[in-house]
Structure formats: C-alpha cells, structure tokens
Structure 1
C-alpha cells in the first residue's frame, strides 16, 4: 500500500489529545511501578531484593513471547469478524478498558511471592495486548511526516503528564498516610486505575484505522504456517539497517532511563539520606520539565530529524548523572537544593530521550515496505516492544543482583556502606554507560524528514506503475543507505520476511 492510499482523515486537536491519552497507560503505569513497586515489595511485603527483582524478570521474559505474538495477531486481526467490526487495533484497546482493574491488585500488602508474581504477569500481558496495537495507530491514522510527528508528540506529552501524576499521586497519599504505611500505594493503584479507564475510553472513540479493504490480506493456510510467519517476520526486522540503528538508540537510551528510575529511589533514600517523599517531589518536577522539553523536541525533530536531537538529549542526561554522582561523593552541603537543580537539567534531557525513539518507530514500516512490499506495523511494534522488555528486565535483574552482592538489606531503614556505594556506582557506570552506547547508535541514523519523503515518493511512484529501472540516482542511494539492501532487490525481490 502506498503512502497516498493511507487513510488520511483530518486530524483535529481532539484526535491528537485522544491519541496522546493512550499513553496514560504506557507511561503512567510504568512510571509508578518503575519508581515504587520494587521499593513496595522490599519494604512492605517481606520480600528479599533478589525475589523482588526476579518477579520483574520472570514476568518480562514471559511477556517477551507475547510481544511478537501480539504484533502478529493485531496485523492479522482483520481476518476475523471482530476485527472487521471493531478494528484490528482498536478491538484490543476496547477489551483492555475493564482489565485495568488488575492494576490495584499489584499493591496489596502481605501476600505471598506467587500472588505478586501472578498479578504482575497478568498486568504485563494486558499492558502488552493494548500497547502494541496502540503504538501502530499513528501509522494507521496518517502517512504525513509532520502529522505523525505531532501525534507522537502528543503521546509523549501525555506520557510526561502521566509521569507527573505517577509521582504526585503517591506523594499525596504518602503525605496523608505516612511513609511507613503501605496504604498510599494501594490508593495510588486505585486512583490510577480510574485514570487509565477514562483515557482508554477517550482513545477508542476518537481514533481510526486503515479501512479493511485497503489492507492486503496475507494467506496463512494453517497454525504451523502462522507460527513460522511470526518468527520469520520478527527476525527479518533486524535485516533492515535503519531499524537496527533505531533499536540501538531505543534500547540503550531507554535502558539508561529505566535503570535510573529503578535505582533513583534508593539513591535518594540511602545515598543522600533523604525522605522518600523527596522522590515523589523530584519525579513530579522532572515530569513537568519533560513535558516542556518534549514540546521543544517536537519542533526540533521535525526540522533536524532524529539523530542530532537524540545525541543532545542523552548528553544532557549524562551531565546530570555526573552531577548526581558528585553530590554523593563530595557530600556537598544544601543537598536538597542541589538535587532539585540537577533534576531540572535531567528533566530537560529526558523528554527528548523518551520522545524521539517512539517517534522514529512510526516511520520504520515505511522503510520496511520498500524492502518487503508489505505493511508490517504490528511486526515492528512487537519486535521493538519485545526488545525493550528484554532490556528492562535485564537492567532491573542486574540491579537486584548487584545490590544483593554488595550487601543490600531488604526492609532496613539504612544500608551498609558497600550497598550505598553500589547504588551510586550503578547510577554512574550503568546509567551513564548505557547513554553513551545510545549516542554511538544515534550517530549512524540517516532517517529524517527529507529521506523519509524520498521513501514515500518512491513507494507512490512504483505502486502507481512506475518502473524500477527509472529510479533516480539520489533515490537509489537514499533507499540503499536506509535499508542496507540493494535497490534492485527491493519491493519484495528478496527473501526478507515471510513468503506465502
């Protein structure tokens, strides 16, 4: 399907707000669980840090199986009556609305290990079954570079609003019930459950997809062929050069942020000896600043592409990490004021780190279509989310192992100096190191506004009956740089992806 055949209904402010609101689940639920769930398990649930991090790892590794499967299901769901009636993407958003009731169940105290493992696995599965179809909607709704940029910009800004609420709501309830009570976390779960239900309902009724008639149906004769297609297609995404570069940006940029989120509460409480309420205040400030920086990065990305803005954002994050480490090492006075100052720097960079990879993702299927002559948005959403979940599980698991190795004591109000030093070391070496690797991948990214337009124009030309032999040298060169494939082998003339 060419770019001009994509369903391009007028996108109004309501549609942008509705699309963005879906990220109240994507960012908010993760922000709360990322900042507090490990702390909740080790403080109020009589659980060791190794067992607590094991929950995250087991659930995420199981979810990795679901990610590509969900991409395959949502791409193929138009073959069913439910898909044709409710949408191959939006059906899963609709069914996910009542399943948000699982979220408060994560925050019940004094249950056993298997309860927490089961509830977390279930919520991760529900989360994935909604977010992978949701991530494809911007591609479904428009093929225009700027319109997609603004849709994903609203998604990112709502993500920052979700981050703010994810920090402010626990802080409000901690202030009400005290830092030694588990009730703030349960009430946070209930409150955010209501927010997610409202947001997903708003999204469902104000979004759309390509018409069923405009989506080429692939013949999958049986279950075995379906499983084969799933694995072949997921593996084939790595053969696209731009996606490999993008995946490196995403995994290591987000990996730095995930590791920071997982250890920041420990850094504030144990390295700086500050109350846990300060974490909530700092995260709230960071979310506001990320909202501002995201709005700035939307305009920058539209003009400059993805690579340079992402490098700038990660550089700011690295600078902030060095400052946080310096505050700990040198025992600088006026800690609270300094930490707030550094968080201002961190928040301004983090907005770009979160926004840019998920904006770049929406253009991967266009580059892929040049190679495979297919539309595989769901495959790319599944591959990207699967890789992200693996990275997130790995960094959290490694954090738990490092802290345990250096003597971290679950439930204790203070920690041995070896554990405190380990927390600071993870912040510097772990977070900073991942960010540096993200910068390396960014330097190789060639996709931008200009090269994307060349891709779309060539898709339109060839699909309108133009001969491949008539391609211009500039177009040939751009496509080969973006795909890593000889132009002569593009448009399905290769063995990349599933073949019927």
Structure 2
C-alpha cells in the first residue's frame, strides 16, 4: 500500500508541495526532525495535564479561597463541557474540507492555528482573588481549547504516513516530549517553590504562567512543521464534494435541520463502536486515564498529609518520570517487536508492583529513619513512574492503527471521529472521577487549609491514589489479552485494503486474511468495503 507521503510527492493538483500539504524530504520516510516537529505539540498535550491535575486545585485551595469540593467541582464540570466539545470537534474536524477555509488552510492545521492564541487564556488560572465563577469560566475555555487541539493533533500520525514504523517513530517522539514536559514542570515547580517559598502565590504563578507561554510556542511549532492529507486523499474533491456527492457549502440541497445533523453525527460516532479493536482499546484507554486522573488529583495531597512531606518533595517525586525518557526508544522498539498485547502484560505487572512499593512507603513512613525511608521512596517512585509512563505510551501507539481497521470496513479515513468519541468519553470519565474525588475527600473530613488531616481522610487519600490505580490496572490486564493489533496484523489489513482498492475480488481473500480482518473488526468479512467495478 503506497504511503501517504509518497502519494503527496507525486502532486495532486492541490498544491501538495505548499503548506500544509507539503512533504519535507519529497515523499521519503519520516525524518527525525519531522517527528520532533510533530512531537512538540505534546509538550502542551502532556504538560497541561500535569498542571491541571497537580497544581491548579492546590493553588486555588491555598491562595484563592476555594475549598476542595469547589475546586474539584470546577475541574470536573469543565471536563463534562469538554466531553460535549469533543463530539462536536471530532465530526467538525473531519468535515472541514467541505468548506473553502478548511481546503485553504487544512482541516487539521486550521484547528491548530486557532488553538495557539486560545492557550494564553490559561494565564488567568493563576490570578488570585477572582470569584469562583470566573475560575470556572477560564478553566472551561482552557480545557475546551485542549480538546480542540487534541482533535486535530491526534489525527496527524494517521495522515502524515501509513507506515507502521514511521507511525511508531512519531508516537515515540511525541511521548518522549510529553514525558519531558511532565518531568520539567514538577522539577521547575520544585525549584521555584524552594527558591521563592511554598507559602507565596507568586511561586505558583511563575511556573504556571511561564509554562502556558511555552505551550503556545510548542503548538505553533507543530502547526508549522507538520502536514496532513490533501482533500482528494481524504475523499474530497477540489470543490469539497465527497465521493457521495453534495455541495460543500450546503447550497442546492434540501434544508437540513439541526436535529438531522445531530442524528447523522450520532450515527457516525456510534458506528465506530462496531469495531472490536476500538472497543478493547477504548476500555483500556479510559481505565488508564481514570487512574491517571485520580493519581494526579490526589498525589500532592497524599505527599503532604500521608507521607508528611513538603510540596517541594512532592514535585521532585513527580519529576521521577524522567526515568522513562531514556526508555522511550525501548518502548517504541518493543511495540514493533513484541506488539502491544505482550507489552501491556509487562506494563500492568510493573504498575501493580509499583503500587505495592508506594503502599509500603506509606506504611513505613514514620517507622524508618528519614534517610532510609527517603531512599526507599525515591526508588519506588522511579520504578512506578517508569511503568506509569508506559501506560500512556501504548494506547497512543495503538490509536493510529484503529483508523486502518475501520477503513477496510468503511473505505474512509475517520481518525478525528474516532478521536472525538474517545476524547468525549475520556472527558466524561475525567469529570466523574475529578468531581467524585472532591466529594469523597470532603465527606472524609479533608480540609486542605489545615496542617494535618484526620486518619479517615488519610486513609481515603491512600485508597483513591493507590487502590483505584491497582483495581484499574488489573481490569486492563484482562482486557488487553484480546487486543491483537500489531505490526503483522496491521500489515495484513493494509495489504488487503490495497488489493481491494486495486479491484480485487472479496471472494479471493485467503483464510488467514479473512481471520485477521474478522478478529480485528469483530464483523464478518462480508461487511468489508467493496471496490469492485460494475
């Protein structure tokens, strides 16, 4: 199957050599600088999650007069708004080629360009003294902007190349930079808090506002250095018509009500759930992200009140994620060699071991001498964060392959539609988890303004941080045993799609290919898109 990059280099009459359809290197494989340009976007994608999870609620409860229930309620309610936005953005992003603006600036790159200035609203999160409704409004803009960005960004690997190894390079570089961001933020935060003092709002403002500016620059770099499918390669003509016909701007068609638009969008999203590989991937992804949300929302409080250590120490422990940076190339190689299913088994076993280690640190706090306890805890954090990073790596290595599985059934590239539904459900789950954390902690007697917490609140923190993580990792391990997408099976799918597009008959499919298609899609082979003439 020819790669998208090679097709672009041949020219399509749509200006494939001009931004955003140009191809650096004239159709060769993805180069390292191309991967870095793409990966820069996840400096924002990964970094803003650390800011949201670990520092925003802490800043609001310490310096802005909000209690834990209100702070977590704002974070949770914004996630529900983001979930609705994800559905709208996913379908909207895939359909931008129907409009002149999308064809001129690219359906993915137009969204990236709009995201850049909106990111700067995040600066207002670090202004003390605002009413609660103002923090809610600003955070909603901030979180919806993140969702808008992810709609376009998540679809780029599927459009930049069709090669499995090139996609793995993009994912590896992306997650390396994301992990670098997740390392730098707490490390810088720790230094700033130690230098300026943990009791000053200015300390949090310095790194919060500073990283917001860096996020904007990172997204701009990705916008300028990546490319996407041309309209014709995505199934649209130069006038924006799809293969099924129809006017791109909606003129000359029967009037469509909003309800009909919503019904069509709903059918598109529901149809993605027919794909068995997507359902399995989605279940793992959501459980992993729910674990991350609970961990991020409680870790700093756990450090302060269960470990009885400072926010500076907690930030240093969060920066332990740096251990995964040199491991990223190994993660990428493992995805290529042993496949996601086996790598997931290693990952979840390591996560459960890491949870047991952190639990032991908690139980030994106050019983071991400080130097011994600190060494034991730092080693435990290094071990745990290495596998926690792998939790985020594997799903994003699998996601670009989902559209390949769907494409053999529908004949369309629907990356953003899959991304929109995934992001919507992810935000709903995030909202539920984040809001629940605030309610549960408040019910346990937790009060962040006090120097210590009652025993019930300490136990609740431990259960939310460690118990919830362990439970979800165990469930994910079971689900991953049936996730059979890998380099071999994706290659079989690509070859079969290429054969059918060339006019091959569905009746001539070999038994192995039929079995792979039916296993990955969860549908009978008869559901495969037919390209036969006549």
Q: TM-score range by the shorter chain?
A: over 0.9
Q: How does 1:368-387 map to 2 (within 5 A)?
A: 368-387=406-425
Q: Is the 8 A contact 2:126 2:209 kept in 1?
A: no
Q: How does 1:422-461 map to 2 (within 5 A)?
A: 422-461=460-499
Long gaps (5+) in structure 2: 7-26, 237-241
Aligned equivalents of 1:492, 1:241: Cα separation in 2: 20
Q: Is the 8 A contact 1:403 1:423 kept in 2?
A: yes
Question: Per-residue deviation at 1:418?
Answer: 1.0
Q: Sort the Cα spacing of 1:296 and 1:5 in 2 relative to 1 into closer, same or farther, 3 A.
A: closer
Aligned equivalents of 1:449, 1:199: Cα separation in 2: 30
Aligned equivalents of 2:3, 2:462: Cα separation in 1: 53
Aligned equivalents of 1:223, 1:457: Cα separation in 2: 41
Question: Per-residue deviation at 1:156?
Answer: 0.5
SS of alignment partner, residue 129 of structure 2: coil
Question: Per-residue deviation at 1:18?
Answer: 0.5
Match for residue 339 of structure 2? 305
Once the two structures are superposed, residues 182-240 of structure 1 have per-residue CA deviations (whole angstroms, 9 ceiling, x without a partner) of 11222122211221122112111111111122221344754534322211111111111
SS of alignment partner, residue 216 of structure 1: coil
The reply to whether residue 338 of structure 1 matches residue 365 of structure 2 is no
Q: How does 1:346-495 map to 2 (within 5 A)?
A: 346-491=384-529
Aligned equivalents of 2:3, 2:299: Cα separation in 1: 47
Greater alpha carbon shift after TM alignment, 292-301 vs 138-147: 292-301
Aligned equivalents of 2:3, 2:342: Cα separation in 1: 31
Q: How does 1:235-246 map to 2 (within 5 A)?
A: 235-246=270-281
Query: Which structure has the bigger radius of gyration?
Result: 2
Q: Specify which structure has the higher proportion of helix.
A: 1
Q: How does 1:199-210 map to 2 (within 5 A)?
A: 199-210=218-229
Match for residue 285 of structure 1? 320
Match for residue 10 of structure 2? none
SS of alignment partner, residue 485 of structure 1: coil
Q: Is the 8 A contact 2:500 2:530 kept in 1?
A: no
Query: Number of paired residues?
Result: 490
Q: Is the 8 A contact 2:335 2:397 kept in 1?
A: no
Aligned equivalents of 2:168, 2:383: Cα separation in 1: 24
Aligned equivalents of 2:196, 2:499: Cα separation in 1: 64
Once the two structures are superposed, residues 292-336 of structure 1 have per-residue CA deviations (whole angstroms, 9 ceiling, x without a partner) of 232221100011111111221122111111111122224341322
Q: Is the 8 A contact 1:321 1:427 kept in 2?
A: no
SS of alignment partner, residue 326 of structure 2: helix
Match for residue 80 of structure 1? 99
Aligned equivalents of 2:209, 2:381: Cα separation in 1: 28
Match for residue 497 of structure 1? none
Greater alpha carbon shift after TM alignment, 143-152 vs 184-193: 184-193
Q: Is the 8 A contact 2:79 2:428 kept in 1?
A: yes
Match for residue 64 of structure 2? 45
Aligned equivalents of 2:208, 2:287: Cα separation in 1: 29
Q: Is the 8 A contact 1:170 1:185 kept in 2?
A: yes
Match for residue 294 of structure 1? 328
Aligned equivalents of 2:419, 2:266: Cα separation in 1: 14
Match for residue 185 of structure 2? 166
Match for residue 226 of structure 1? 261
Aligned pair partner of 1:123 in 137, 142, 160: 142
Q: Is the 8 A contact 2:180 2:325 kept in 1?
A: yes
SS of alignment partner, residue 212 of structure 1: coil
Long gaps (5+) in structure 1: 494-500
Question: Per-residue deviation at 1:492?
Answer: 7.0
SS of alignment partner, residue 64 of structure 1: helix
Question: Per-residue deviation at 1:422?
Answer: 0.9
SS of alignment partner, residue 256 of structure 1: helix
Q: Is the 8 A contact 2:403 2:415 kept in 1?
A: yes
Aligned equivalents of 1:328, 1:205: Cα separation in 2: 47
Greater alpha carbon shift after TM alignment, 358-367 vs 251-260: 251-260
Once the two structures are superposed, residues 421-443 of structure 1 have per-residue CA deviations (whole angstroms, 9 ceiling, x without a partner) of 11112223211111111111111
Match for residue 179 of structure 1? 198
Once the two structures are superposed, residues 23-74 of structure 1 have per-residue CA deviations (whole angstroms, 9 ceiling, x without a partner) of 0110001112211112112222211211111111111111111102111111
Aligned equivalents of 2:213, 2:319: Cα separation in 1: 20
Q: Is the 8 A contact 1:16 1:150 kept in 2?
A: yes
Aligned equivalents of 1:83, 1:263: Cα separation in 2: 41
Aligned equivalents of 2:257, 2:97: Cα separation in 1: 17
Match for residue 305 of structure 2? 270
Question: Per-residue deviation at 1:163?
Answer: 0.3
Once the two structures are superposed, residues 372-396 of structure 1 have per-residue CA deviations (whole angstroms, 9 ceiling, x without a partner) of 2221111011011112112222222
Question: Per-residue deviation at 1:80?
Answer: 1.5
Once the two structures are superposed, residues 324-382 of structure 1 have per-residue CA deviations (whole angstroms, 9 ceiling, x without a partner) of 11222243413222210101111221221111101100010110011222211110110
Aligned equivalents of 1:492, 1:34: Cα separation in 2: 47
Q: Is the 8 A contact 2:3 2:161 kept in 1?
A: no
Q: Is the 8 A contact 1:292 1:348 kept in 2?
A: no
